Amino acid sequence: MKRIIIVLTALVLLVSLVGCTQKTTTTGTLNEDKLVIGVTAGPHEEILEKVKELAVAEGLEIDIKVFTEYVMPNIALAEGDLDVNVFQHKPYLDNFKADRNLDLIEVASTVNFPMGIYSEDIGDVSEIQEGDRIGLPNDPTNGARALILFENAGLITLKEGVGVRATVQDIVENPLNLRFIELEASQLPRQLGELKAAAINTNFAIEHGYVPTEDSIFIEPNDSPWVNVVAVRTENKDDATLNKFVRIYQSEEVRKFIEERFQGSIVAAW
Backbone angles phi, psi at 218, to 5 degrees: -165, 140
* pLDDT (tens digit per residue) in 8-54: 444 444 333 334 333 334 457 899 999 999 999 999 999 999 999 99
Residue 157 has pLDDT above 50, yes or no: yes
Per the CB < 8 A criterion, the answer to whether 153 and 163 are in contact is: no
More confident residue, 223 or 59: 59
pLDDT of residue 27: 52
Banded pLDDT at 77 (limits 50, 70, 90):
very high
Of 24-33, 144-153, 200-209, 218-227, least confident by mean pLDDT is 24-33
Q: Give 3's pLDDT tier (boundaries 50, 70, 90).
A: very low
pLDDT value, residue 38? 98
Q: What is the mean pLDDT of residues 83-90?
A: 96
pLDDT (average), residues 93-119: 95
Residue 257 has pLDDT above 60, yes or no: yes
103 pLDDT higher than 70: yes
pLDDT exceeds 80 at position 4: no
Q: Residue 141: its pLDDT value, please?
A: 85
Would you state the pLDDT for residue 53?
98
Largest CA distance in the chain: 82
**Among 20-34, 179-193, 196-210, which stretch is predicted with the lowest mean pLDDT?**
20-34
Structural domains in the chain, sorted by start:
32-114+225-268 (3.40.190.10), 116-219 (3.40.190.10)
Q: What is the pTM of this model?
A: 0.72
> What gap in Å lies between CA 12 and CA 65, rounded to an integer?
33
